[in-house]
Structure 1
Amino acid sequence: MTFIQFALNNVKRNTRAYVSYFLSCMFAVTVFFMYAVVIFHPSIREYEFHNVVQSGIIASQVMIYGFSFIFVLYSTGTFVKSRKKEYGLLTTLGIKKSQLNRLLILENTMIGLAAILAGIAVGALLTKLFLMVFSAILGIGDILPFHLSLRAIGLTIILFFVMFELNTLAVVWTLRTNSIMEVFRGSTKSNRKPTFSWFISVFALAAVLYAYYLAYTADITTIGARMFPILAFIIPGTYFLFTQLSIATTSIFKKNKFFLYRNLNLLTISDLAFKLKENARILFIVTILSAVAFTSSGVLFNLFRSVEAETVRFVPQAVSLISNENANLEDFKKTIENVEAQFQDKFIPYESMLASTIPAEMESNSPNWDTTPIMIYSYSDYQKMMDLKDEEKLRHPKFSEAILLSQDLVNRFTAKVPDSLTIKVGQTNTDLAIHREASPLSSSISTNVQLIVSDKRYEQFIQAADASSVRYNYVMHIPNAFDYATETEDVLNRVNTEIAYADSQADFYLMMRQTMSYLFFFGIFISVLFFLAAGSILYFRMYQDIDKDLKHYYSLYRIGLTSKEMKKIAGKQLALLFFLPFSVAAIHAGFAFKALQNILVSNVLLPSIFVYLLYFAVHFINFIIIRNIYTTKLNKVM
């Protein structure tokens, strides 16, 4: 048997140990390769967003490659630790250090090449589907044709081969620094009684709860400032939850004699305390990776779904044409006729009305509202605009009152409006009592604040205003406006900007949909990669400790426990180690979703539940597979 055959046999005999590691690496290669196919696709250069997509994909690939590098380094090191006894035995049998290093390099090179080739093969099979999804998410009319780029294949092979080799050399170096006895002992460690600090345990709980409070009460005005404090509390808090509070919890259960001496709780809890202490750091890493996957997937999915609702929030009217300063009414009406003719040619249904409006300024002792520009509308015109959209109207203001309308976002960022303001129109100043409401009207180029006054007051303002300063607002309501977004944008792009300022839901919707599509497309696969890596890390840890666990269960078997009882204990402990970090990560993500709900107008509950269920299904399948491997090994000790 040659040395290469010896290395190949080692890989074959440890297939079960490497399967999760191999699949995770293969998935990373697959995603990287499919992104590379898009970058080098010849048809993508025909689109305007080519540069943006290329930059986004390159950034995504850097993240995938960087994370894969760390993941492979950790995974390779874990498997070497689990096989240290084997390497120690080979050393005592006379294998040279250079030969042992060569063996390690050969084994990891074989696994790496297999993962690269399998990843590229799977990527090639899924490329057509990937291009279809890419075209659908980015709103490309025609699906990009199937294309396999030799440059994409070459780039993937070179980068990942270099990554596997560098990681292997790093692990070989760490093994080289160990003495023969250390290698022969493997990862065996003496079990010390788990200890904890009540002070740190309480601190961990308080830190996590405070981070939850910050997220729960955050809104669009505070989320940016709170992001770093939330992370600063949640990350160390989570770490100490596993290293301290989990041990404290098991000690509480140990003191409960009624619970401890029922069924097999004594054995389960006693052994669980040691497992939690040994695996605390792993559980922390898995929790953070899972929380990142849940949060990023949920946020991206919710943002992608909320484009229409957010468009209506920021641009309440389907189309709004406001005459520019110095533009005469006749030119403005011709522009309107041209827009209507194009809408009819494109079969876009609409209802419309024309309103006059007066530009003015507010004067106030409050610096936030002094000299603020506004557009004044009569209540009658306001009523017609609301009837156009079939929306509920505000009450009619009295002669001495006015309703100040401003965007919801403006309301949150600006100070409270004074009870009364001085409205300056022409050479006259008028004091009016002010009531503030969220604006159902679109902004103009000059201001996003409107003032609704009674018809009599409006007539008074018209007489005081310079005739040339009066502006006109042509408003259109389009049923199912988003179905005609591209056509609407095309029509409004032709409007003469010297005559009218055009604002539409179509423009905002298409811009936001494109942005959210990019984020969703670039981020979702990275989130899935993080989650699969988290599951793989749990698998690695279980496999590394399996020999020690089998000795423990063999001892229990010899003192009289049945096979059913041992499987029950092992199943409970394995389930807790698997689903505890998943549950904590899900709670972390839940508060992130609550912060997102405080920002968005659309409901994030159902999409978030969908994300949870999808990840739970994958995690549960992973758990079933690993539990079956574990119990199969357990059967061999009896």
Structure 2
Amino acid sequence: MTLRTLARSNVKGNWNRYIAFFLSSTFSVMIFFIYAAFLFHPDVISGEIRAADKVRYGMVLCEYIIIIFSFFFVLYSMSAFLKTRKKEFGLLRLFGTTNGQIARLVLYENTLIAVLAIAAGVGLGALFSKLFFMAIAELLKVESPIRFILAPKAIWLTVAGFFALFELITLYTLIGVGRSQIIDLLKAAKKPKSLPAYSMGLVVLAVSCLAAGYYMAFHSTLAHILFLMFPILTTVVVGTYFLFTQASVAILRRLQMTPGLYYRHTNLVTVAQLVFRLKDNARTLFMVAILSAVILTASGTFYVMYEDTEGRVIAQYPHAFSLIQRGGEGPAKVSLEEMKRHLAENGQQLKYELQLTGVKVPITLAQMSNKKTEALLVPEEAYNQAVRQLGGSAVRIEAGHALYVFPYKEVAVEFFAKGSRLETSLDGKPLTLVSDGQLNGGVTNVDADYTSMLVLNDNHYAELTRGLPASKLETYYGLETSNWKSSLEGSQRLAEALPQEARQGLKMRIGDYLAYKQFNSLTLFIGLLVSVLFFVASGSMLYFKLFTEIQDDQAQFRALSRIGMSEREIRKITGTQVGIVFFLPVAVGAVHAAFAYKALGNLLNTEVWYLGLAVMGVYTLLQFMYFALTRRAYMKQLRQG
């Protein structure tokens, strides 16, 4: 029998171990190839698909993520497989096989799996590329379908890149095999395990790190998130590592000292075996927990941004259509009536309208390096009318005071604190006001020439603007329609119908809404494929970790049967242990993601819990399905031992 024949027999005989690794590798190759097929598509490179540049950079970033992730995943998987085969290598050495021959055997096996995974991945990628092109074409709203072409460069890049990745990692993992002595290899699986120990200091460190990370995430704001991001990631990762390596052992050892629970039914066997299983698998569970947190956080963020598209656009454009008029009753007033007529002719139903007149005044934002900008000075009642239309609460301003209104809700900077002096000028005359604080979120479209407002008492405003020439005034006209989402064609005809001088001050919500929706849809679509890859890989890590220990579990299965335990009781013990191994890291990752959602909500100034819970629900369901399939295959293999 040649080494190549032996390699094929080993792969075939241990297929239950290799299947999860093979499927994960195949999926990685498939996603990489699909993205590469789009990136190297002739129409994309030539620029014929004009909107392709919107997703090109995102896909390139995903390609790098897939390669980096695949490197560490394959490295971990191959290292884990080799550790479980020390006894086999010891027997081969005992029969006269040299270190070089063992290395060649492993190289042949891994090359065979690599070739199969790459071939299957490229084949499936070619099969699903057409569907991917159709989905991208729909999201990009291209005029004609994207041609189904498999660029040769995409094929060779995928094949050569992943083959080199597999081979280099295989050669690296073989370094340690030849250094072991025969006796060490033969006794590797028979070395008695000492009772897992833990350090109470490290347990306290785990709790402290997680508590600190959660606290910082819960109270994070836009102003501090850049400074807190690294400390949050560091403390949570460190806390998670010691949670599985130390705290899990401490909890189970504590359960062993609780007679009422420990000696009930089959708990004695379940807990006693879990102490060793969790300790042995601590690093795997740690990595799966971090992967789960990454998957849930990334998927949740993409989903939140997609679902919040309309709300964010409306926050920037409170009115579907708006016009700016400088200097009293002029062309814009005439254009407003013309605009309303055109909207009615195009099926737009007017919901309400707003007319807001004020005067621009200069202000200085000290928190932005003393930036010189302008704000619209408006009377209290006019501002309150706009606020009521938007469902907000009215404000009351005293004479000599002013409320600063910043148009963006997400801002974390307070430009004018309550009680501070606000220096400006009106018609060349100095004006000092007392700040009543700051409100975030405007009542006019932010694309207007002014970006913020100063709200004054009505009588004070009338006194300041008395005798002011009409040329100094500015009027904002806003129109809100109930069916603005269907206004694209009508808005284009409207812009063409208005006079040139009015067209310059025309702002419409629908354009930015469609652009944001397209971008968020593409981000969600592309990001979810990478998230699914991470999910498959995390489940695979748990799968082959279970099957690499199947021989020890088979021996325990036979021992429990000999002492009188029924198969039903053994299935219950095994099912409980496998379930804890599968769902414990998912639960920890979900808690991490929950605090990440809280931080995201703080940044967006909105509640994202219900969307985050939906993502967690889908992820849990998929994990349960993966668990059910794994448990079925595991129990079948266990009984055959």
Scaled by the length of structure 2, the TM-score of the pair is: 0.88
Q: Which residue of 2 aligns with 1:24?
A: 24
> C-alpha separation between the residues in 1 aligned to 2:507 and 2:209?
46
> C-alpha separation between the residues in 1 aligned to 2:557 and 2:462?
91
* Unmatched 5+ stretches in structure 1: none
Q: Which residue of 1 aligns with 2:254?
A: 252
1:249: how far off? 0.6
Q: Which residue of 2 aligns with 1:554?
A: 558
Q: Which residue of 2 aligns with 1:589?
A: 593
Q: Which residue of 1 aligns with 2:42?
A: 42
> C-alpha separation between the residues in 2 aligned to 1:605 and 1:441?
29
| Cα contact 2:417–2:436 (8 A) shared by 1 | no
Instruction: Provide, for residues 139-161 of structure 1, a one-character-per-residue CA deviation record: whole Å limited to 9, x for no partner.
Output: 44554343332322222111111
Give the match's secondary structure for 1:146.
coil
Give the match's secondary structure for 2:548.
helix
| More divergent stretch after superposition (203-212 vs 15-24) | 203-212
> C-alpha separation between the residues in 2 aligned to 1:379 and 1:177?
82
| More divergent stretch after superposition (618-627 vs 457-466) | 457-466
Q: Which residue of 2 aligns with 1:607?
A: 611
1:357: how far off? 2.1
> C-alpha separation between the residues in 2 aligned to 1:364 and 1:46?
45
Output aligned runs, 1:472-551, within 5 Å.
472-484=475-487, 488=491, 500-551=504-555
* Unmatched 5+ stretches in structure 2: none
> C-alpha separation between the residues in 2 aligned to 1:573 and 1:366?
56
Cα pair distance change 1:628/1:354, threshold 3 Å = closer
- Whether 1:448 aligns to 2:420 is no
> C-alpha separation between the residues in 1 aligned to 2:499 and 2:116?
59
| More divergent stretch after superposition (180-189 vs 304-313) | 180-189
1:507: how far off? 4.5
Cα pair distance change 1:276/1:27, threshold 3 Å = same
- Matching residue's letter, 1:174: G
Instruction: Provide, for residues 566-596 of structure 1, a one-character-per-residue CA deviation record: whole Å limited to 9, x for no partner.
Output: 2222221111111111111111111111222
Instruction: Provide, for residues 520-555 of structure 1, a one-character-per-residue CA deviation record: whole Å limited to 9, x for no partner.
Output: 233222222122111111112112222122223333
- Whether 1:405 aligns to 2:405 is yes
| More divergent stretch after superposition (443-452 vs 171-180) | 443-452
Measured on the aligned residues, the alpha-carbon RMSD in Å equals 3.4
> C-alpha separation between the residues in 2 aligned to 1:363 and 1:178?
72
Instruction: Provide, for residues 259-284 of structure 1, a one-character-per-residue CA deviation record: whole Å limited to 9, x for no partner.
Output: 22211222222221122211111111
- Whether 1:460 aligns to 2:463 is yes
| Cα contact 1:368–1:415 (8 A) shared by 2 | no
| Cα contact 1:208–1:233 (8 A) shared by 2 | yes
Aligned residues with identical type, % of pairs: 31
Cα pair distance change 1:391/1:565, threshold 3 Å = closer
Give the match's secondary structure for 2:361.
strand
Q: Which residue of 2 aligns with 1:11?
A: 11
Q: Which residue of 2 aligns with 1:280?
A: 282
- Matching residue's letter, 1:228: F
Instruction: Provide, for residues 470-501 of structure 1, a one-character-per-residue CA deviation record: whole Å limited to 9, x for no partner.
Output: 22323222323333357647966999689844
Q: Which residue of 1 aligns with 2:359?
A: 358
Q: Which residue of 1 aligns with 2:209?
A: 207
2:472 to 469, 472, 495: 469
Cα pair distance change 1:542/1:365, threshold 3 Å = closer
> C-alpha separation between the residues in 2 aligned to 1:166 and 1:117?
18
Cα pair distance change 1:495/1:81, threshold 3 Å = farther
| Cα contact 1:485–1:506 (8 A) shared by 2 | yes
Q: Which residue of 2 aligns with 1:135?
A: 137
| Cα contact 1:486–1:506 (8 A) shared by 2 | no
Cα pair distance change 1:146/1:361, threshold 3 Å = same
Cα pair distance change 1:346/1:189, threshold 3 Å = farther
1:513: how far off? 3.0
Q: Which residue of 2 aligns with 1:302?
A: 304
Scaled by the length of structure 1, the TM-score of the pair is: 0.89
Cα pair distance change 1:541/1:409, threshold 3 Å = closer
Give the match's secondary structure for 2:375.
strand
Give the match's secondary structure for 1:46.
coil
| Cα contact 2:354–2:386 (8 A) shared by 1 | yes
Instruction: Provide, for residues 151-187 of structure 1, a one-character-per-residue CA deviation record: whole Å limited to 9, x for no partner.
Output: 2222211111111221222223332233333333345
1:22: how far off? 0.6
Give the match's secondary structure for 1:356.
strand
- Matching residue's letter, 1:583: A
1:32: how far off? 0.6
> C-alpha separation between the residues in 2 aligned to 1:37 and 1:522?
14
1:152 to 151, 154, 172: 154
Cα pair distance change 1:338/1:140, threshold 3 Å = farther
- Whether 1:634 aligns to 2:638 is yes
- Matching residue's letter, 2:174: V
Give the match's secondary structure for 1:373.
strand
| Cα contact 1:211–1:234 (8 A) shared by 2 | yes
| Cα contact 1:495–1:502 (8 A) shared by 2 | no
| More divergent stretch after superposition (479-488 vs 6-15) | 479-488
- Matching residue's letter, 2:301: V
| Cα contact 1:486–1:510 (8 A) shared by 2 | no
1:301: how far off? 1.1
Output aligned runs, 1:422-433, within 5 Å.
424-426=425-427
> C-alpha separation between the residues in 2 aligned to 1:558 and 1:575?
25
Instruction: Provide, for residues 268-327 of structure 1, a one-character-per-residue CA deviation record: whole Å limited to 9, x for no partner.
Output: 222211222111111111111111111111111111111111112233222333246xx8
1:9: how far off? 2.0
Instruction: Provide, for residues 205-242 of structure 1, a one-character-per-residue CA deviation record: whole Å limited to 9, x for no partner.
Output: 12112211222222333333321121121010011111
Instruction: Provide, for residues 347-403 of structure 1, a one-character-per-residue CA deviation record: whole Å limited to 9, x for no partner.
Output: 55556555432112469999999987321234564466567x564562675766655
> C-alpha separation between the residues in 1 aligned to 2:475 and 2:608?
39
- Matching residue's letter, 1:75: S
| Cα contact 2:554–2:638 (8 A) shared by 1 | yes
Give the match's secondary structure for 2:108.
helix
1:53: how far off? 2.4
Aligned residues: 634
1:329: how far off? 6.1
| Cα contact 2:348–2:481 (8 A) shared by 1 | yes
- Matching residue's letter, 2:603: I
Cα pair distance change 1:468/1:612, threshold 3 Å = same
- Matching residue's letter, 1:520: L
Instruction: Provide, for residues 187-212 of structure 1, a one-character-per-residue CA deviation record: whole Å limited to 9, x for no partner.
Output: 55431111111122122112112211
Q: Which residue of 2 aligns with 1:80?
A: 82
Give the match's secondary structure for 2:50.
coil
2:572 to 564, 568, 575: 568
| Cα contact 2:252–2:271 (8 A) shared by 1 | yes
